[in-house]
Structure 1
């Protein structure tokens, strides 16, 4: 069994300000999860933290993206850290932050070989920058890591694409809007909206993904978990709320199959904002579910 290292990427660089002059609170998520006993339940061998450059709400003129230069600087440091962990056969259990933390990890995966990405999220995050009103990379990061967009972000260290588009599985979106969904539909990624996931069945869907990882002889796969994939009634403390979402039963079933796979190289948890869960009730429930499912299934 691989040794687990909890990695704390305390970044909010990929999000817009929720209100003028106020930074998004997701950068405090690792400490918040510590407070609610995630670290204790996972029992990692080590805990490492990498803080990002300072947040700014000004768009980069070259790319029209918020914090573009800072994201590049941070991604290079993240990639170095994740690369070292994977090289040492450790399992990175990454706590964000917003979804832009995937950038450095995806670079590290490219440096290590050819990897798949299971992108479990209530949104596709496959938006073209021209469709983004905010300029936040959080909403376009799945597209960026598969090589789409300005090369300042897509081709750091000449590694583009970090993940091949056809090795991306985008699962759980429930923002049903043609203009939004067409971006992922016209790509070569596999797209399973929440409706489609339920229609095909969770077990069938995940088994199809795992079979593809094997048949393509991928070196492994990364699991991205944006907590907004969960039902809004059990996880409302996110920056972009949408009705419906996975129940904990569905979420636990889905993640259990992925946690069991020997090909799982690491995972990340993003977007839960402590500012939006003052009492911690939603966080407690999330920690109880994910830690128990992980501990029961990881490399067993």
Structure 2
């Protein structure tokens, strides 16, 4: 069975304009309005209320809202752990990408898990390289144990996922200073060009082979909708030219979601404020909803 965890968290992003908070906070409710929850027909729906938006820049870490992110991550970890322990598949609806921190923290407390990270950016960055101080652009690094102790070692669990168990796929921001950290890490990195050269399905196969060979307890899937081509999904905070088609994404998700070790999926960054008539949200639900609905019951 699938259990939905609504995580309407937006403190990992900066204001899109002065005095306006990021609209991703509305995503779980926007998806529900357009029939996503009815399509999935979950066993249960959990809502983890997020704190009020703030632009506070933590002087200790150089990350906005670091304390609030850590506190929210702790609550996320508790809910996710219970869902997984009960044998359900978790579907977490963000929110911004910093919700990865709490989800991977929760899995770390249960065992040894992998991470298939689908994103138009690497999100593998330290605060000193960030121009915004937003944790949503650093969440993969934090989950892998890189960055300020306050966020990387909650409850003494650093790292939440080992780099050798991470596949990061779909980045199309090719600036050398930006991609150097992830290239120098132990993460298996497939930017958009390499992903297409190797083939999306082949990339997933190498990940799943690792999951079995390493005898992992399961794996998590991160799906930032900005991995999609900007022409079909422009309702994101940091658009980049190009991106994957729904068909290419489906090739990966079909293999991932049907695997016996699949544990859960998080969906992030679709901003209802940038999709006022719901056109792009409905297209997203039409393409992705059926894949999630077909997740096998163990």
Q: Does TM-score exceed 0.5, indicating one fold?
A: yes
How many residue pairs align between the two structures? 298
Deviations 1:216-256 (A, max 9, x none): 11110000000000000000000000011010111111111
Q: Distance in 2 between matches of 1:128 and 1:244?
A: 26
Please name the residue that 2:197 is paired with. Answer: 199
Equivalent pair of 1:42/1:295 in contact (CA under 8 Å):
yes
Q: Deviations over 1:167-219 (max 9, x none)?
A: 11101001111111111000001000010010001111110100000001111
Taking the aligned partners of 1:298 and 1:140, their CA distance within structure 2 comes to 32
Match of 2:242 among 244, 249, 261: 244
Shift of 1:299: 5.2
- Give a deviation string over 1:9-52, Cα, whole Å, max 9, x none: 01001000001111101010000000111101111011110012
Partner of 2:126: 128
- 1:137-148 to structure 2, matched below 5 A, reads 137-148=135-146
Task: Compute the TM-score of the two structures, normalised by the length of structure 1.
Answer: 0.98
Where structure 1 has 5 or more consecutive residues not aligned to the other structure, the ranges are none
Write the mapping of 1:78-157 to structure 2, written as runs, cut at 5 A: 78-157=76-155
Q: Which runs of 4+ in 1 moved over 6 A?
A: none
Deviations 1:68-118 (A, max 9, x none): 010011111111100111111111111000000111111111100010000
Contact 1:97 1:270 in 2 (8 A): yes
| 8 Å contact from structure 1 (residues 55, 67) kept in 2 | no
Task: Specify the alignment match of 2:231 in structure 1.
Answer: 233
Q: Which residue of 2 aligns with 1:223?
A: 221
- Superposed CA RMSD: 1.0
Where do 5+ consecutive residues of structure 2 fail to align? none
- Aligned counterpart, 1:58: 56
Structure 1 pair 190–299 and aligned structure 2 pair: CA distance change class (3 A): farther
TM-score by length of 2: 0.98
